[in-house]
Amino acid sequence: MKDNIPLLSFILLHGKCRYCPEKINLRYPFVETLAGTLSVLLYSIYGFSLLFILLLSLTYMLIAITFIDFDHYIIPNEFVLIFLGLAVVAHGLNLIPINWKDGLMGAFGFGGALFLLGILGNWIFKKEAMGFGDVKLGFVLGAFLGIEWSVLTLFLSFITAAFFSIVLLVLNKISRENPIPFGPFISAGAIITWLSQTPGGGNYILNWYYTTMF
């Protein structure tokens, strides 16, 4: 048990297994630090509430989806089904600040946009540009986000994907032919959207956009 305390065990063990000379993969402390940081940030915004517990659960699953997609280029259907079930419960109990109509618009808008972008990418690049797992993830996330926040999340997804890809290309970690999964960036976009909510239920990024552009 003492070797399974998040982050602290890694430090106390000096990054190595207690019973063998093998080094502990740096992914473990990174994920633990990331999850802990996001937990604190979400709590600072939403307080201890049912909405906080819901978003925290979604965030942890999105972290898992991120690394599974990076490793295997797949988003397991089990996660999609859990998201879908939680969306039904969240709307039924009014846990999220959008109504079911906005949720449906967000689901079909987000999922539909990714589906169309996938078709367009297939036509342009002559190969699969968007997996159907991304479409399903966009659909279930859209049910939580509503149409306006889905648009913001999609925008943030492309921004983070572009930044990540450029950095890896500059560092020669990938080539232009290497496929990069999009699920991690959909996840990042959704989490950034949740973290940018204002106390009044708005969104700092959208507020900045509307103030700057209009």
Q: Please indicate, yes or no, if residue 17 is contained in any of the structural domains.
A: no
Q: Please indicate, yes or no, if residue 102 is contained in any of the structural domains.
A: yes
Q: Please indicate, yes or no, if residue 3 is contained in any of the structural domains.
A: no
Q: Please indicate, yes or no, if residue 9 is contained in any of the structural domains.
A: no
Across 29-33, 55-59, 124-128, the highest mean pLDDT is recorded for 55-59
Query: Residue 210 carries which side chain, given as an amino acid letter?
Result: Y
Neighbours of 44 (CB within 10 A): 10
Across 12-16, 64-68, 130-134, the highest mean pLDDT is recorded for 64-68
- The answer to whether 63 touches 79, Cβ cutoff 8 Å, is no
Q: Please indicate, yes or no, if residue 96 is contained in any of the structural domains.
A: yes
The domain of 132 spans 48-213
pLDDT, residue 7, reads 66
Residue 14: how many CA atoms within 13 Å on its side-chain side?
A: 5
| Counted domains in the chain | 1
**In the chain, pLDDT over 70 holds for what percent of residues?**
89
pLDDT, residue 9, reads 66
> Coil, helix or strand for 14?
coil
